[in-house]
Each structure stands twice: as C-alpha cells, then as structure tokens.
Amino acid sequence: MTASSSKWYSGVTRYQWLVLIVASLGWIFDAFEGQLYNITRADMLPDLLKVASDDPSVKMWGERFLGIFLIGGTLGGWIFSSLADKWGRNPVMALTILCYSIFSGMTAFATEIWHVGALRFLVAMGVGGEWAVGAALVAEVFPKQARERASGIFHATSVAGLWLAAAAGLFVGTQWRTAYLMGVVPALLVLWVRISIKEPDSWKQAKQTKPERMGSYMELLGNARWRARAILGALLAMVGLATFWGVVVAGQDIAADLLKRLGDPDWAQKSKIAFGFIQTAGAGVGMLAFGPLSVRWGRRRTFTVMHLAALIMTPIICWLPSYFMSYGLLLCLLPIFGFFAQGIHAGYAVYFPELFPTHLRATGAGFCFNTGRIMAAPVLIWLSASMKSAFDLRWAITYLGFFFLLGLVFLAFLPETKDQDLPE
C-alpha cells in the first residue's frame, strides 16, 4: 500500500468535497439561526413586551419560546427527514434552508410578542429538518473509507455557526432586528444547493425499486429491526442532548460561580468567553476527532470512551478549580471537558445514517436525533431545573453528569457498523 492510498481522503472526488461543503454550510447556518434567539432575547423581549429588562415576564416568555423552538424543531425533523427519503435530498435540503432563513428574516419585522413565537416555531422546523438531510447525504456520497471522517467534519462545523452568531451579536449590539435581517443570508445557499447537488445513486435505485416504502414511518416503526435501532438511537441521542443542556452549557455557570467566589467584577463577560469560545473550541476538536477515533476503535467503543471520559471530567471541572480557587485552571480544563462531553454529538452524524437502509436513512436518522431532542425536554424542565435550584450548582451538575452512564446501557443493545457497507 502506498502512502497516498493509505490516506482517508485519497479517493475522495471533487464532487464529494463539494457535497461536504454545501451540507456543512447548511448545518453552520442551521446552528447560526438557532443561536440568534439566544443572543438577541435580552434586547428583543423587553422591546416587544414594553417592559424593563428585569421584568419577570421577560424570563417567562423567554422560556416559553425555548419550548416552542424545541417542539418546532422536533416536528420539522420528523416531517422533513421523511420527505427527504420521499422527494430526494436536494429539494428538501433547499426547502429546510429556505424555511429557517426566510422566517428568521421575517422576525426583524415582528411588532407583537406572538409574532416571535410563531416565527420561531417555523424557523425551528427548518433547523430541525436540515440536519438529517445533510447527514444522510454525506453518508451516501462519500466512500466507505472516508465516511466516518466526512460525517464527523459535517457535524463539527456547527461550532462555526455558534461563533458566527456570537460575532453577529457583537456587531449589532442592541439592534436585534438587524441580527434577524442577517438571518436571510443563508437563503442564497439554496441556489447553490439546487445547481450543484445531485441525488445519490443509492437513493435513485431505492426510489425505483421501493417507491411506496420511501420515508415510511410505518415501516420504520413496524419493522422489528429498524424499530429497535430507531428507539435505541433516540435514547442515545436523548442522553447527549439532555447532558448538553443540563451539563455542557453549565460550563458558563461554573465559570461565573467561580469568578463570583474570586470577587471578579467582570464575571459575566469572562464566563461567556470561557464557555462560548474556550470550551466550545475543545468541543469542536472533539467532534472532529470522533470520525478518526471511530475508524480505529469502532462506533460503540468511541461512544463508550467519550461517555466515560465526560462522566469523569464533570466533577473535575466542578470541584478542582473551586478547590484551588483558580480560574486559569478552569480555562485549561473546560476544553478537555468539551472535547468529550460535546464531542459525542458528532457521533450521531456518523452513526445514525449507518443504522438504516437507503429508503429510510434520513427518516431514521431524523427520528433518532429529533425524538431524542423531545425526550430530553423533561430532564431539562423538571430534573435539571429542580436540582440546580435545590443543590449547590457544583453538586447539581455532578449528579446530572451520571446521565452519561445511561448512554452505555443503550449502546450495549445497538450494533457496531465499523467497516460495514450502508444497509440497503
């Protein structure tokens, strides 16, 4: 074997790279649109409600809109992933990008609070649907030896979307309407999608041989093999999404708590930097690493190692910097924590499309990711919120970190897909 042939990208064509770029841009702007609300809510909600920023109604409506976004994302994920198997990857990817960009731009013209709720629901539908289409497309287009790494790169690009949203927030300041007008920009990507992306040959063949079964939830949940994979995949995603919102994003709260103990007057700004840039950088590296690690170890073992490492790192970031009263130590540990605790998310883009046949690939992957999203909601609404109000923040996050162990239970019943062809 020559040195060049041993490289994972040696057989990747220009068109396959193009597919990865287009799918990744869709996912980057997906993350950007989802994050726009978080960076503008402090200015937008008081403005529309015509109250002070510390009015209780601001927090109440803020939480309501997060719930609306969660429901819209789940519904959109279910609908658009099924349509991607029925209609094709190209038109549905274009439709989801149009959905989240156009309705995000319309938010700039909202004059009533209910306008925001309705538009965030529609934005969420596009955001929830785009991931499954992109993940299925990348998995089908790339050759087997490059599939894991390409899928990992695809998911890891979401970090760029988060940074882009943060930069937009700094640019617009308190002018929240300008931020949403910027949200229209991804609509320009639709033309490129329609011109450059072809339907994968495997999808064309499946469409010819089993047209009535394409994107069928009846078959996904009626067939024992696919049903087991869909339910267990959703449970695995639930662990990752519940720990993300309950544990991973708490990196900012941990930093704020430590800085307050140190008496730092700039604790609010520094804690945002600690999470939004430093921890997120480690998360990006972790997501990029999942693909190569899964090539070496297999999907299940890579998930297992990352879940266990995240379980270990959770109490470390909670207690070690606090014990030494060292913000510098926390900044060193947060990227390592993000590497494992958020790095597992790239595994969903690698693993879920490999669990299902072509005629159910986007449907199955979308079901896993988006059902996991809605299943994580009770953990956030009841368990995480109640624990963080009842215990010291460090203890609450330490306890919630044990959810990483639950992922190992679900992994035990899922198949290994390393070195296997995609199911047909």
pLDDT digit string, tens, across residues 350-387: 999 999 999 999 999 999 999 998 898 777 667 777 78
- Whether the predicted pLDDT of 59 surpasses 80: no
Distances (CA, A) of 88 to 132, 155, 363: 12, 21, 12
Cβ atoms of 239 and 410 closer than 8 Å = yes
Q: What is the mean pLDDT of the chain?
A: 90
Mean pLDDT value of segment 22-30 = 92
Given pLDDT bands bounded at 50, 70 and 90, which one contains residue 174? confident
Task: Say what the pLDDT of residue 421 is.
Answer: 86
Rg value, the chain, Cα: 21
| Residue indicated by tokens 């998995």 | 139
Mean pLDDT value of segment 124-138 = 92
Task: Say what the pLDDT of residue 424 is.
Answer: 78
Task: Say what the pLDDT of residue 268 is.
Answer: 79
- Whether the predicted pLDDT of 331 surpasses 90: yes
Return all residues near 201 (Cβ < 8 A) that are at least 6 apart.
none
Given pLDDT bands bounded at 50, 70 and 90, which one contains residue 317? very high
Domain limits of the chain?
14-194, 219-414
- Whether the predicted pLDDT of 21 surpasses 70: yes
Mean pLDDT value of segment 79-103 = 94
> Quick one: angle between helices 299-324 and 250-261, nearest 10?
10
- Whether the predicted pLDDT of 252 surpasses 50: yes
- Whether the predicted pLDDT of 411 surpasses 80: yes
Cβ atoms within 10 Å, residue 352? 31
Which CATH architecture group holds 14-194? Answer: Up-down Bundle (1.20)
Given pLDDT bands bounded at 50, 70 and 90, which one contains residue 1? very low
Pick the range with the lowest mean pLDDT from 150-164, 215-229, 289-303: 150-164
Task: Say what the pLDDT of residue 2 is.
Answer: 44
Q: What is the pTM of this model?
A: 0.88
Say how far apart CA 63 and CA 40 lie, in whole Å. Answer: 14
Mean pLDDT value of segment 121-149 = 92
- Whether the predicted pLDDT of 318 surpasses 60: yes
Cβ atoms of 357 and 373 closer than 8 Å = no
Task: Say what the pLDDT of residue 35 is.
Answer: 81
Task: Say what the pLDDT of residue 273 is.
Answer: 86
14-194 and 219-414 have identical folds: yes
Distances (CA, A) of 237 to 303, 339, 375: 11, 17, 9
Task: Say what the pLDDT of residue 5 is.
Answer: 52
Task: Say what the pLDDT of residue 24 is.
Answer: 93
Pick the range with the lowest mean pLDDT from 204-208, 267-271, 284-288: 267-271
Task: Say what the pLDDT of residue 413 is.
Answer: 96
Task: Say what the pLDDT of residue 65 is.
Answer: 82
- Whether the predicted pLDDT of 4 surpasses 70: no
Cβ atoms of 301 and 270 closer than 8 Å = no
- Whether the predicted pLDDT of 306 surpasses 80: yes
Please write the tens of the pLDDT for every residue from 38-55. 778 888 999 999 998 878
Report the CATH number of the 219-414 domain: 1.20.1250.20
Percent of the chain with pLDDT over 90: 66
